Structure 1
Amino acid sequence: MYTTETMANRALAAEIRHDSVPFTALLEETLDLRHGGLGEFVSVRCEGLGDIDLLLTFAVGNRLAIVGLESKFDHELTAEQVDKELRALEEHGGGHLVVVLPEVTDAPEFPDLHVLAWADVLGSFRDSRITQADIDAMPLTKRRVERMLTDVDLGRHLDDPGWQVYVRRNGNGNPSIEFHSPDLPSGRNIRGQIQVSGRGMPADADDLRLEYSVGIEIRTATEHGDFPDDGGATAPVWARHLATLRRTVLTDDRLVELTVSTHPAPRRSTDARNKAPNAPRDNKMVVAQQHLDDERWLVKGYTDGAGWALGVKSTPHRLDELETLCVTTARILNEWLAVEQRPR
């Protein structure tokens, strides 16, 4: 019945108006206030102060108490949004911010963030017209994938304790497992993601595909020499690392086993270059031609802005193949790091 956050929030506002007493008690418990600490419920309005989803007003004697409710289903709650909403409440004279999420464990780690699960909110009403079945029917694909990425625990497959691994939303807003190796002798690190293929998130989990992206840190500032105009007389640092990966780990007889995609990296269009006028020339193809035997599938990634990494991607994997994808990714990472750490 409720297919968007906006619809669910308006339904929640109606339930609060209809049955405010038990919900007020839940808020007081969540905010660790003594019984009656919020006072008497006065009003609730949608999308008010600071773009907070619901703004609740209570009367405590001659003064008003404000509680902002920010409810999320599949959209990310960012530190910037939390700060903006807290500032809006402070500028309005102060108040509390409570976040409502599908699960309390979905909450990001912000100091003093008060969190309620939708089940607890709905359970506080005596005869709610919005039900847990409505919440379960909402499009929760990103959060479900996020939980699965967290539960799979890529880090347990990595040999070196110096790896940094965390689940976060990437530039497309999709959940991903991001990883960084300890610094290599060159000062660079191996890095990448296990991520949703493509830019969008399909509505049907059966259509979702995952891939690894494993590469070496690049630096776009000119002084680092990562992208010489002519490809360079000697290979840039990042290209030498990728040559090592190809020679020692991604040998011809293992490409299928390690599910490596050998589809060439696309050339960056003139339009893309014009959109990023301060970015360095995208000479990764020239470098690949001169120093990586023109194997353009070795230089997938991004060179815009501050840079990220260049390397390889896997073929697409289904969601039920996530554990296998993690094991394969870890094999590549463990073997590559071990080679790079050997004395030369």
Structure 2
Amino acid sequence: MKWMQELQKNVTTGEELACCFPDIQSDRRTEEMIRKYPVSIPAYYLSLIDKDDVQDPIRKMCVPSFGELDLEGDMDTSGEGENTVLQGLQHKYSQTALVLSTDRCAMYCRYCFRKRMVGKVAEETAVDRESVYRYIREHPEITNVLVSGGDAFLNENSVLQEYLENLTAIPHLDYIRFGTKTPVTFPQRITEDGELKELLCRYGKKKQIYVITQFNHSREFTEQSEAAVKCLQEAGIIVKNQTVLLKGVNDSGEVLGELLKCFTRMGIIPYYVFQCRPVTGVLNQFQVPLLRGYEIVEQAKNMQNGNGKCFRYIMSTRRGKIEILGKGAGDNEMIFKFHQAKRQEDKGRIFVRTLGPDDCWIE
């Protein structure tokens, strides 16, 4: 397929990075870092970077830095391992099944919460897909499936068709979701593949299909990315967005607010603003303190009309998705609520914590 050939041109080595960015040296240390956390940058996304600005927010999301070698943090901050019921299949919340369909992405984000696996090994991905379908069929409490990865749209169309053929045939599923960042990083995967659009159109008539994507900065909205979103919408897909709050990228109310305006303009549903997870290689680079994050989110929210305010500021922890509701009565008190919970006793529970100015996470 043409899109696969195009991905072969991605920047993946220290030598190629050094050719693009004069401040990067192609040396042993750079190559060791890339071996630990692979690099892959499509030509399209590379073109969005201001190469004269080492603090460019687009660059920060795709170009590695030695801060990734910091060993603080956790490789599995939300307990994916303990919720894995089959290789590649997680069942943390009763109504949702999550399939890790591939370890590949069109671009490897430097803040990825699956740095432990993405671009490196397929040991956590679904190999025995028949067992995955069987598990979902045998668990009628599951009403939706999220096919993710890596990036779900890095699967070949034949694999996507197999997922759709099997999942749309399961009566107790209400809808199917695909997690993909290709509208943002590699839009030609969608705009130049008529077969993909036809598949989504055909199976979307059997069950509603959602695409969950991830725009983090308004500069990622280009003629090409907007065309990819429109292509999905024309196929009957509901497009939702999960933004990650990232230091040096979108950690100001104005920047985040402009991004949210792009969603309402494009008919994208703003789903979550995620607190960046304390992942090893990410924690000290991208996390924003919770007290400051709340102020940023509120400032951005106040710039929106009604449709732009429908997202939630969320942390995804081992016990569930926790919404950051607002400030409490005491100094530095923050009110939290379980938006989704693994345990019955946590569902809907509201609690208060006193936070320090540098606290970026709670347990």
TM-score (structure 1 length as normaliser): 0.29
Larger RCO (CA under 8 A, 6+ residues apart): 2
TM-score (structure 2 length as normaliser): 0.28
Bigger Rg, which one: 1
